[in-house]
Structure 1
């Protein structure tokens, strides 16, 4: 594989989101001089005509698909049709137009939720389509699986140098801290921050606390994205993760400590736990020569500092 020309057009779809903004920062630090981004108000990626017109004007040589409708368990279980329909339209439009207007490389970002609910741990890439999905986010997962298959079909039919990567649970600056739409870690940061500020005697978290999850700082993912674009060209998706997990109860204790909360942590088992365990096998990426650098404690501390200074608080 060869390096991407730093002066060629590089389109980051979703450049204002958690992942896209981190990729944008990383590409700037790597000397890319023609980064292309559009906000959702400037370009509705669900609108095929708008996407076609945009690609016709910009003609990016590289495309990174970080745009998606995302959310936690509550959002996914409440709005499954929106998550399925919006994500299908976004990725079909982007990949189709990248092909039509000559983008040489493309990276589609999926999610670890594409794997079966009870997949053997750690989850290898070949576990895809080997069992039932987690029902609380199956609509989102199906959309992301379709994106992986579209990338593979583009390779088979057109010889495109398009690839896909499956990140584990992500966190970092720019995360969504909305109480109804956020994932588990930003939801905990917000909850424990408020409890710490108000000196609340107790905090109640969803579920039993027993499920285990793996977390990766979004800046590590951004570095992995560029690495894969320049060092990987195969049809199989590549897992991107930290390689270790912890229980949700252990995560809550860590977030409480980082935010300065000293009260009691309670659990509400009437709320869903989701998948019992979800940790990715990252040996394929490791063998290519890339490993993450930001440990969870350090990443949480920097994310909390960002949250304290942000309008999200």
Structure 2
């Protein structure tokens, strides 16, 4: 069957919407936005209530709940250390989650689905800013290739459903995200929450310096999770196409610049040092967001403001955040 050609309609405020991963960074932001916009049929399950790697349980859940819209935001995520140390976990668990949810959604012919991936799907040395058509044109960054392969499989799964069954399912690929409910673990966090934890601990302990991995020269694009949630709802309301859509700000900063913003936000006044024997990761990762911009969406949270808000959230929740 050819790819779906129908024009999607705005989401019905009364529709039953299942947000997979509704307690995570992205899922919780999407849930908050849907609630504030008056959507009354939200459905969420914690991991203890529904293990998404349990295929039979996932199929039973979909058969029982019959969601009309699915947002697949559930995933096992982590930074360079976690991805490098546990590649099997990141490949296997994410592949299981995606396959189970997508197959169960297809089994009941869910009309509308949004699959969320990551900008790490693109080649390590892709031309900057990275266009959607850069997918599968070169080698991946070795430190997170297992996670990237799982997400690429999810994109192709969505495209296959569109081709074979004509359902208007879509995929969105966010840049580096941050905000409330992020993972601030010392061993598995991404770059910004890791920096926030490090600088806040240094401030509280009156440390003379903070030492970060790498050279500080790689550049990263950062998107506040509230902007990501806004983009997701916008895409569900306005976009129908087979290719994954990049979601970002279209602007990037060096890790050193981001570290200084974090130091300023936390009030840390000591020295920043760089352990150049540690890996930098991908040298630059800036997304071309022209497809998303063409639908009429743009980000609203400035990076310095978003970092300050995230630092405030971490301070208010650091005991529970550090325990993750």
Give the corresponding residue for 1:163.
170
Give the 3-state SS of the residue equivalent to 2:169 in structure 1: strand
Residue 102 of structure 1, CA deviation = 2.3
Q: How does 1:115-264 map to 2 (within 5 A)?
A: 115-264=122-271
Q: d(CA) in 2 for partners of 1:186 and 1:4?
A: 33
- 2-side partners of 1:98 and 1:4: how far apart? 17
Over aligned residues, Cα RMSD in angstroms? 0.6
Q: C-alpha distance in 1, partners of 2:44/2:270? A: 43
In structure 2, the partner of 1:3 is 10
Cα distance per residue 1:202-235 (max 9 Å; x no partner): 1100111010000000000001101001111100
Q: Which residue of the other structure, out of 84, 97, 102, is the alignment partner of 1:90?
A: 97
Describe the SS at the equivalent of 1:77.
helix
Task: Find the partner of 2:106 among 99, 113, 116.
Answer: 99
Structure 1 residue aligned with 2:278: 271
Runs of 5+ consecutive residues of structure 1 not aligned to the other structure: none
Deviation at 1:270, TM superposition (A): 1.2
Alignment partners' CA distance in 1, 2:278 and 2:21 = 31
- Give, in whole Å, the separation in 2 of the partners of 1:157 and 1:114: 24
CA distance in 2: counterparts of 1:9 and 1:101, whole angstroms: 14
Tell whether 2:57 aligns with 1:46: no
Q: Shift in Å at residue 255 of structure 1?
A: 0.4
How far did 1:182 drift?
0.4
Deviations 1:101-146 (CA, angstroms, capped at 9, x unpaired):
1211000000000000000000000000000000000000000000
Task: Tell me if structure 2 keeps the 8 A contact 1:59–1:102.
Answer: no
Q: Which residue is 2:321 aligned to?
A: 312
- Correspondence for 2:3: none
What residue in structure 2 maps to residue 22 of structure 1?
29
Task: Supply the distance in 2 between the matched residues of 1:119 and 1:97 (Cα, whole angstroms).
Answer: 34
Aligned-partner SS, 2:280: coil
* Alpha-carbon separation, structure 2, partners of 1:261 and 1:63: 42
Structure 1 Cα separation of the partners of residues 321 and 26 of structure 2:
17
Tell me, in whole angstroms, the C-alpha distance in 2 between the residues paired with 1:84 and 1:175: 21
1:49-103: CA deviation from partner (whole Å, max 9, x where unpaired): 0100000110000000000000000000000000000000100111111111121
Instruction: Find the counterpart in structure 2 of residue 65 from structure 1.
Output: 72
2:20 aligned residue (13, 38, 61)? 13
Tell me if structure 2 keeps the 8 A contact 1:80–1:137. Answer: yes
Residues of 1 paired with 2:22 and 2:71: CA distance?
9
What secondary structure sits across from 2:273 in the alignment? strand
Q: CA deviation at 1:3?
A: 1.1
CA distance in 1 between partners of 2:49 and 2:285 (Å):
36
Aligned equivalents of 2:65, 2:237: Cα separation in 1: 22
SS class of match (1:35) = strand
Stretches of structure 2 lacking an aligned partner (at least 5 in a row): 1-7
Shift of 1:197: 1.1
Q: Select which of 50, 56, 62 maps to 2:63.
A: 56
Give deviations 1:5-32, integer Å, cap 9, x for gaps: 1111100000000000000000001111
